[in-house]
């Protein structure tokens, strides 16, 4: 069976796109033909990532904004609609994952994680949805949640809470945006090595996290980008309000516990 689709003529916003999963998603969408509006915290980071994408033959426009700032996100989306003429896909990817045991967790860090991961997703998705509704062409919204939404991980009580919030935010948006032909889904990645984001995590944790997938290999940013591409594609035309776990089977059960002893 040959399956082909193209995002040519469409505009995709990816927040936190300067590195890691966001850069992989922007690359995949760009290779499928979309023009990329690439957001990150600073103009330098957004422009450097766009230069990388342009070198790969992808049309890319940098948009610096802090997703915690609702007015800045609204202004960014307005600029995209004005300058690029449309917004078809929004990927709320920007996120942070500092790791601090619950008993030591300061309110400042709690707020930073919730503000970035949950409120930032709200800002991005609402601004994008409003632009899509105004244009009347429908759209697709994809939010990056995490496997941490389904089960707690030591030191990540704030992160888990923020990503569980993203799951229900996704479902709420899916209900209310379906009449506008806007599909909303979230991706729950397992552990994925990225150049910057995991720098603070213990090597022993990373080794174990890399080795747990029943599929027998660690996940890659491209695995997550492919899932995003699927959700943005016509193949997912009847999929909305769902959470797509992409973890090589890690959360399916305990692959290492074999009653027959093999
Ligand atoms: N890597 C993993 O194992 C993994 C697993 C599950 C979920 N996730 C989620 O995927 C997303 C991307 O993760 P990653 O590993 O690529 O992270 P990363 O740290 O490598 O990249 C995140 C990007 O977001 C940007 N960013 C941070 N705060 C921002 C803000 N307020 N406004 C705009 N941009 C901001 C950063 O500058 C950075 O470029 C996050 O939401 C993360 O929680 C990652």
Whether the per-residue pLDDT at 262 is higher than 90: the answer is no
Residue 123 has, within 13 A of its CA and on its CB side, a CA count of 25
Homologous superfamily (CATH) of 11-246 is NAD(P)-binding Rossmann-like Domain (3.40.50.720)
CB atoms within 10 A of CB 165: 18
The Å distance, Cα 93 to ligand 1 centre, comes to 6
Going by CA atoms, what residue is nearest to atom 24 of ligand 1?
A: 16
Q: Report the catalytic residues.
A: 159
Q: What is the pLDDT of residues 237-253, one digit of tens each?
A: 999 999 999 999 999 99
Counting from 1 in the atom list of ligand 1, the atom nearest the Cα of 49 is 39
What is the SS3 assignment for 192? strand
pLDDT of residue 1: 62
Sequence length of the chain is 262
- Give the confidence band of 257 by pLDDT, cuts at 50, 70, 90: confident
The Å distance, Cα 197 to ligand 1 centre, comes to 6
Alpha carbon 174 to chain centroid, angstroms: 16
Question: What would the mean pLDDT of 103-111 be, rounded to a whole number?
Answer: 98
Beta strands, E only, the chain: 11-14, 35-40, 60-64, 89-92, 139-144, 182-189, 243-246
Going by CA atoms, what residue is nearest to atom 40 of ligand 1?
A: 95
Alpha carbon 156 to chain centroid, angstroms: 18
Pocket test for ligand 1, best of 21, 28, 123 (most atoms within 8 A of CB): 21
Give yes or no for a contact between 90 and 13, defined as CB atoms under 8 angstroms apart.
Answer: yes
Using CB distances shorter than 6 Å, the residues near ligand 1 are 15-16, 18-22, 39-41, 45, 66-68, 93-97, 116, 120, 144, 146, 189, 191-192, 194, 196-197
The Å distance, Cα 2 to ligand 1 centre, comes to 34
Give yes or no for a contact between 21 and 14, defined as CB atoms under 8 angstroms apart.
Answer: no
What is the SS3 assignment for 112? helix
Q: What is the pLDDT of residues 145-182, one digit of tens each?
A: 999 999 999 999 999 999 999 999 999 999 999 999 99
CB atoms within 10 A of CB 73: 27
251 strand-pairing partners: none
- What gap in Å lies between CA 119 and CA 110, rounded to an integer? 12
- What gap in Å lies between CA 62 and CA 80, rounded to an integer? 10
Counting from 1 in the atom list of ligand 1, the atom nearest the Cα of 20 is 16
Give yes or no for a contact between 174 and 166, defined as CB atoms under 8 angstroms apart.
Answer: no
Of 76, 88, 89, nearest to 25 by C-alpha is 89
Q: What is the pLDDT of residues 204-215, one digit of tens each?
A: 999 999 988 999
- Give the confidence band of 261 by pLDDT, cuts at 50, 70, 90: confident
Give yes or no for a contact between 28 and 229, defined as CB atoms under 8 angstroms apart.
Answer: yes
pLDDT of residue 24: 98
Of 97, 102, 91, nearest to 191 by C-alpha is 97
Q: pTM to 2 decimals?
A: 0.98
């Amino acid at each position: 069976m040959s399956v082909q689709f193209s995002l040519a003529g469409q505009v995709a916003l990816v927040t936190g796109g300067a590195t890691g999963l966001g850069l992989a998603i922007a690359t995949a969408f760009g290779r499928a033909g979309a023009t990329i509006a690439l957001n990150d915290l600073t103009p330098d980071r957004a422009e450097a990532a766009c230069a990388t994408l342009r070198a790969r033959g992808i049309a890319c426009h940098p948009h610096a904004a802090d997703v915690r700032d609702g007015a800045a996100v609204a202004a960014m989306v307005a600029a995209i609609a004005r300058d690029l003429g449309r917004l078809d896909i929004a990927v709320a990817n920007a996120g942070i994952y500092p790791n601090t045991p619950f008993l030591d967790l300061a309110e400042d860090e709690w707020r930073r994680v919730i503000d970035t991961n949950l409120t930032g997703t709200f800002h991005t998705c609402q601004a994008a949805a409003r632009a899509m509704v105004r244009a009347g062409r429908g759209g697709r919204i994809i939010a990056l949640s995490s496997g941490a939404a389904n089960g707690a991980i030591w030191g990540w009580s704030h992160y888990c809470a923020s990503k569980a919030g993203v799951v229900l935010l996704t479902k709420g948006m899916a209900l209310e945006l379906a009449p506008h032909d806007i599909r909303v889904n979230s991706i729950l990645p397992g552990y994925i090595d990225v150049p910057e984001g995991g720098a603070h995590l213990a090597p022993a944790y990373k080794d174990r996290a890399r080795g747990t997938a029943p599929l027998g290999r660690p996940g890659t940013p491209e695995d997550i980008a492919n899932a995003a591409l699927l959700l943005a594609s016509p193949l997912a035309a009847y999929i909305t309000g769902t959470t797509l776990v992409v973890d090589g089977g890690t959360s399916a059960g305990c692959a290492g516990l074999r009653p027959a002893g093999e």
